[in-house]
Amino acid sequence: MEKIQHNHVQAKGLKLHVAQIGTGPKVVVFLHGFPEIWYSWRHQMVAVANAGYRAISIDFRGYGLSEHPSEPEKATFNDFVDDVVAVLDSLGITKAHLVAKDFGAFVAAMVGILHPDRVSTIILLGVPFLLPGLSPLQSQLHLIPPGFYMLRWMVPGGAEADFGRFDTKTVIRKVYIMFSGSLPPVATDNQEIMDLVDSSAPFPPWLSEEDFAEYGSLYEKSGFRTALQVPYRTMMLPCGLDDGKIRAPGLVIMGEQDYIMKFPGLEDYIRSGKVKEFVPNLDVTFLAQGTHFVQEQLPEEVNHLIISFLNKHCE
């Protein structure tokens, strides 16, 4: 970890935080989800650097050590796509492998469609190849219960009031514990999402107090203004790319115990092979004990899968 270098690059007038380790022309760019940050890729960054790659992990705008946009409530997934391209341009990188987690999967998929010449391969964890608007799962969306956390956080002011009852570190702790489970977080009519987890509940054994302190301090700096906008308040907005195809080789790594697997229609979308209509050159791997944070929970297994795939497709 001490060998990871930190700096900022300019992207559309904002300073974006970039963590890097390793050198050379083979570049891997890691894209985080929520409630994650650049730090969530710490195990993978070191592993791919040791395997001969240059590893780069960014904080999206409004997250961690990156600057907020002037109007966070107007941020879109397209802005995050622009961030990825701007980081590549600023660092003089022509083409890279993308590894993305959670909502970062939407960003990686959009980059793959809009900027195919910049992408060598795409590896996704926790969320398969989808686009904003949740294409092609729209026909299943009516099955989502109204108390599902995602629907609650889409409503302006709702999550702010819920989160505001606790300090930032407690919010991150609760979300991390909640998302580590195998059941989707669903509240009753008279219940708040944050109350699904007791403040004294133990966090997963694969995370330390130091890890949570790192996450908490980074979110204390950034807050949640941008994080609630992207992904939650823009996730259902179509991006106009539904007819696009991703030509780059792809890999999806999913934990069998990931609560996302119970999202309506998602498991069938993966297992039936329908996802390959979007990404024809695709491999899919399931990890039996994996949860939503599989890259932190099972780093050695995930690192092996990532490096094997990269080596197979390295130009």
Which residue from 36, 35, 41 is spatially nearest to 20, judged by alpha carbons? 41
| 258 belongs to the catalytic site | no
User: How far is 121 from 124, CA to CA, in rounded Å?
Assistant: 10
- Of 154, 209, 185, 197, nearest to 262 by C-alpha is 185
Would you call 232 a catalytic residue per the annotation?
Answer: yes
Catalytic residue among 176, 232, 259, 269: 232
List the 5-11 sheet strands across, edge first: 5-11, 14-21, 54-58, 27-31, 96-101, 119-125, 250-255, 282-287
The one catalytic residue among 17, 32, 97, 292: 292
Q: Which of 102, 149, 162, 219 is catalytic?
A: 102
215: annotated active-site residue: no
254-284 as b/e: b if 16+ CB within 10 A: bbebbbbbebbbbbebbeeeebeebbeebeb
Token code pair at residue 228: 């609630």
Residues involved in catalysis = 102, 232, 292
